[in-house]
A and B are shown apart, each in its own frame.
Chain A
């Protein structure tokens, strides 16, 4: 078990070090997210109370920014076929998956740390005392997103279409995450208490647990030659 986690950690660390040095995924995703917020600002009727649909705007932005960043997740493994080097090592394929997933999640959370404040700023949102609940929703939804995202990023990296096939594959599968994350965020935004989003949190957690089991298991079939 210790070896498994150690390997996953080594992979995650390697990905994060590489990302911190080049920052390309972070910059691309975050810039995209901010620009989407800008576009929304101009396209929406300013007399509308943004509070009533901000949750939707934010999560749509996060999903697309996240998919953008995912596209690059396996790109570095394609250079010099580093993935083959990884597969040669006595690494549990599930540990390999979890390491990549953890790095992807960290990067997504960093992007979300930009998205939420930016939307709050542009649309005059007040998250007030709901930060704790919000953090939970963000964490659980992002986990589900990155579990499926990492798996299909590996798939996409080995197709001729590459990253462009990611939205087609992921968006239908992520509907549950979107539905529960948006409604939870929405409720917290309008000041509902944390108990009311308990159902949302439980469903997101169930989603996460299911794929936390399935994705590492099928990952081996995806990356083998």
Chain B
């Protein structure tokens, strides 16, 4: 464990310090710093190309920041293996699923990688939680987009991570699946888990968030507690000013 905090519980679950990510000469993230407390639900908005996905990938240890660092529960995030990976779950618009395996097999595979015990049970519970128990033996190839995203969600939460990172999870979802996703996100606001939600869905984001930020051109131009924001005015100004800047 790093020497950053006297006791592990005191370290913020998610912390970014001066994170920059350049792809060759092109900047995607240009100096983002923030720290979340346990139980925070951060909604991150911004136009396309603002680098929100890149920032999320840096938080998840999928992209190595050009400068700065990310810490999960006090531990520095690297591109490789690490105990901190057990603490994070990531849901992207890519599902990370294997089309040739069944729903249960996909979850069991990931469960083995995370070294989970009571695997069969946990897989069963996870499938039931997203309403896919009846389809557990079917190949993912035959699943609709909504079903795949639900399975991906199950995969994200299978190992019960403390930090959940979601990158535009509503993309391409039918209303039924979107409602289910909303329900799951609600349940994630349990005070112990920390969530970062990147989304274009303003109303959903504002409803769930305890903290609201906006990223434009690789930088955060706004970062406020939800309580300080008036939802209607905010939505209007955002749509006028920021979304138009893309």
Contact = CB atoms under 8 A, between A and B. Distances in A.
* Chains A and B touch (C-beta atoms under 8 A apart): yes
Interface of A: 3, 6-7, 10-11, 14, 17-18, 21-22, 76, 79-82, 84-93, 220, 224-225
Interface string B32-66: 00000000000000000000000001001111100
**Interface core residue of B81, B95, B105, B155 (most chain A CB under 10 Å):** B81
Nearest to B139: A21
Interface string B70-101: 00000000011111011010101011111111
B137 interface: no
Nearest to B58: A225
Interface stretch (B108-116, B175-183, B195-203, B232-240): B108-116
A87 B96 CA distance: 10
Interface residues of B, number: 32
Contact of A88 (B61, B64, B83, B97): B61
A90 B64 contact: no
17 contacts: A6-B115, A10-B109, A11-B113, A17-B100, A17-B101, A79-B98, A80-B97, A81-B94, A84-B92, A85-B97, A85-B110, A87-B61, A88-B85, A88-B88, A90-B113, A225-B57, A225-B79
A87 B81 CA distance: 8
B40 to A, nearest CB: 21
Nearest to B108: A10
A92 B90 CA distance: 18
A92 B78 CA distance: 13
Contacts of B79: 87, 220, 224-225
